[in-house]
Chains A and B, each alone.
Chain A
Amino acid sequence: MNPLCTPRDHTFSRRAFLGGGLGLLASPLFAEAMKQRDKQVLFVWLDGGMSQLETWDPKPNTEFGGPFRSIPTSVPGIHFGELMPKLAKQMHKLCVVRSMCTKDNAHSSGVDRIQRGDPKNRGVPYPHFGAGVAKLLGPGTSGLPPYVWIKPGSGGFRAEDAGFLGPKYGSLAFGDGKPPDNLLRHPDISAEQDTARNELRQMLDQRFAKQREKRVVEANASVFDMAEKLMARADIFDTSKLPERDRDRYGRHDLGQHMLVARQMLEAGVRFVKVTSYGWDTHGDHFNSQTTMVPKFDQAFSAILEDLEASGLLKTTLVICLSEFGRTPRINGHVGRDHWPEAWSIAMAGHGVKHGMVVGETDERGTEVKSQPFDIGAAFHTWYQALGIDSHKVEFDNAGQPLPIAHDDMLPIKEALA
């Protein structure tokens, strides 16, 4: 690679796409570029539990439907809650499953169960979906960390997300969407000095490795590799140079700006990007909270869908949006909705899933799944298969023990798969 250019110059960027004109879409060059492009995942996690009734599965004017109206979407016959007007215009890109029925109504255990796919208990912690994808698909050609997590608050490396796969596949969290402190080489250290230091480190690593478990050593080395790659790509955290219009379009709130960083990371080729928004556990003053939170989600999520489609990345990126559960139909005395795993929704878009489609149905009161219910294991099968991984044949290797990558007794949501 020419030392004067960055890996970003070699990606198929939105700007290049727009500059090239829409005619490029039809060209064999574009098709080839998309084929060669690594599959990626955008995983949007609304922590605490988004209400299905105010968003994906409205029940207006019913006993538990709440105060809001529903609005038509770009797909005739499908309605969303009135607080998501931008996503309503993009329903033709989405696949919404309204028949999720999961087992856990507590955050403490539910978050983990959902993010690990709630497989059968094998006595070992399963990897988060992001870690599983990082293991099965690898870091891709970008060389960037395969599993990154953009979140409010603090960042750091979270080895525990990898479960039995070992710390190498943990998530690298960027607190507030910012790069780790001291990412860049100190200006007083020359490139040559830096190289010499790294060679010394590698030598010491080899000595260290002789006395340690292989996967610990790998994780240790991979952290340094990640740091090195990130040092070369510090630009992916910087949204300040983007047009003001882009920053406004995503929203100046943290979810909007973090989604913008996520777009940059996907454009740069990161395999799996998780974006977390906190504060969805609305046990009190629920409806007022929805009037301000849902439109911000609507803004940020619809903006990234638009841009991924415009750049062509939506063809190779599986987009998933979910929480650990939905919210109760019943309204408590604090005007809140509590935790509800019984009948809730997830949304998907992009690679491997059908578009403009709703799968499953809840009853008129929103209290039961009327169609076939799907547990999170079925969703994991669906996502792996959407990425081209045969979830019934491919297995993880837990130190020699083969383990299924998703719940053995469950099947993918076939209606959702493209």
Chain B
Amino acid sequence: MKLEPKQIAEFKSERQISAARFSHDGSMLAAVGYEPVVRRWQFDGQALTPLPSIEGFHGYSTALAFHPKQPRLFAADSWGQLRCIEDEKTLWQHEAAHDGWLRQIAASPDGSRIATCGKDGFVRVWDAATGKKLAEHQAGEDVYALTMTDSITFGDMRGRLETWDVDLKKKQRSFDASVLYKLDRLQDLGGLRVLLHIDGSKTLLAAGTTPQNGATPQSIPTILFFDTATGKLTKTVTHGTNKEGYVHDLVQHPSGCLMAVTAGTPGSGQLFLLDPAEKEAFHENKKMANCHALALHPDGKHFVVTSTNRDSNGNGKSLTKDGVYKTNTSPLHLFEV
């Protein structure tokens, strides 16, 4: 089934958003971004109504995941804090779950455990109910992304992907996504942004970009397809031009199609939909600039894309008409499928 999504509404946000997800029942959207709070909205099928934000994070709020069966939110920040929240109450919290930037959180399918990864090179597994640390693995350099099924698959800055058995504390498989890495002058360019299992975990997707240059990166959004049984790369999909940069978020719709958002040079970026059996996208929407997050509602009929306001860049001090130096923001685009 080839979906044709239509935008039905747009909502404002006060700051920039880097990741967003719906709760298990779809009643709430939560987002993290360039501020030390988690923003939340109530969703009634038509509109997003702001709820009180969760404060007490530091630096940037960087990662979030909802429990798959309960109204619990796991959220983290760039100083290493990890917190479990229900309504506005903190159920448990680790101020230094990682040393510094905690990059991603994934919940196990049954919701009993969560996994985290960070700039400190560690992958850690936590009891979702109590916050007790169950296991940790020194995974390599800065671990950019992870996904959790029965096991954990994670990937670092250099595109080294590994599946790790949590119970046996043992490596199961490695995958070579080093095309997502490049050293340019002093800069290590890590292109990995998202890991996702599809086809009942038979296929692992590693999405991001194939870096070409540092400083002001210009590169083409890329998705690598790996056979999880053999570890072999089976397909590479690139979409867009080298202005469009990175696949920043990637989810699978219940129909099977992949939904991705991209951002690169300010003003560029898009939403595109792809049949995993094909190499070309069957739908693309370029009306939104610099899209960083895609939250799919559990009903499969709605999703939200967060973009960045136009004219987000500029050298020197650009002021508003009132003479204020303002931050950029992330409009939230509500789509209906």
Contacts and interface: CB of A to CB of B under 8 A. Distances in A.
B200 interface: no
A61 interface: yes
Contacts of A69: 58-59, 79, 100
B216 A282 contact: yes
Contact of A338 (B36, B59, B315): B315
Given A253-B186, A278-B185, A284 B245 contact: yes
Contacts of B267: 333
B164 interface: no
B187 A289 contact: yes
Contact of A332 (B214, B313, B316): B313
Given A67-B62, A82-B100, A279-B214, A341 B316 contact: yes
A189 B289 CA distance: 65
B327 A63 contact: yes
Contacts of A331: 16, 34, 327-328
Contact of A289 (B35, B214, B326): B214
Interface stretch (A34-42, A121-129, A291-299): A291-299
Contacts of A288: 157, 189-190
Interface residues of B, number: 49
Interface of A is mostly: loop
Contacts of B314: 328, 332, 338
Contacts of B34: 67, 331
B327 A330 contact: yes
B181 to A, nearest CB: 11
A342 interface: yes
Contacts of A68: 59, 78, 100-101
A277 B101 CA distance: 26
B312 A279 contact: no
Given A284-B265, A333-B289, A338-B314, A292 B186 contact: yes
Interface residues on A, range: 35 or more
B315 A334 contact: no
Given A48-B215, A281-B215, A333 B312 contact: yes
Given A61-B59, A334-B245, A296 B186 contact: yes
B184 interface: yes
B160 interface: no
Contact of A255 (B101, B186, B188): B186
Contact of A334 (B101, B157, B184, B264): B264
A285 B292 CA distance: 12
Nearest to B59: A67
A334 B328 CA distance: 11
A90 interface: no
A364 to B, nearest CB: 13
Nearest to A82: B100
Given A67-B78, A333-B308, A336-B313, A61 B36 contact: yes
Contact of A66 (B60, B187, B263, B264): B60
A279 B185 contact: yes
Given A254-B185, A279-B186, A334-B290, A284 B35 contact: no
B326 to A, nearest CB: 8
Interface in A102-126: 105-106
Interface of A: 48, 60-61, 63-69, 82, 105-106, 152, 253-255, 277-285, 288-289, 291-293, 296-297, 328-336, 338-342, 365, 367
20 contacts: A66-B59, A67-B34, A67-B78, A68-B78, A69-B79, A277-B186, A282-B216, A284-B215, A284-B264, A293-B186, A328-B316, A332-B308, A332-B328, A333-B266, A333-B267, A333-B313, A334-B264, A334-B265, A334-B290, A340-B317
Interface of B: 16, 34-36, 58-60, 62, 78-79, 100-101, 119, 142, 157, 184-190, 214-217, 245-246, 263-267, 269, 289-290, 307-309, 312-317, 325-328
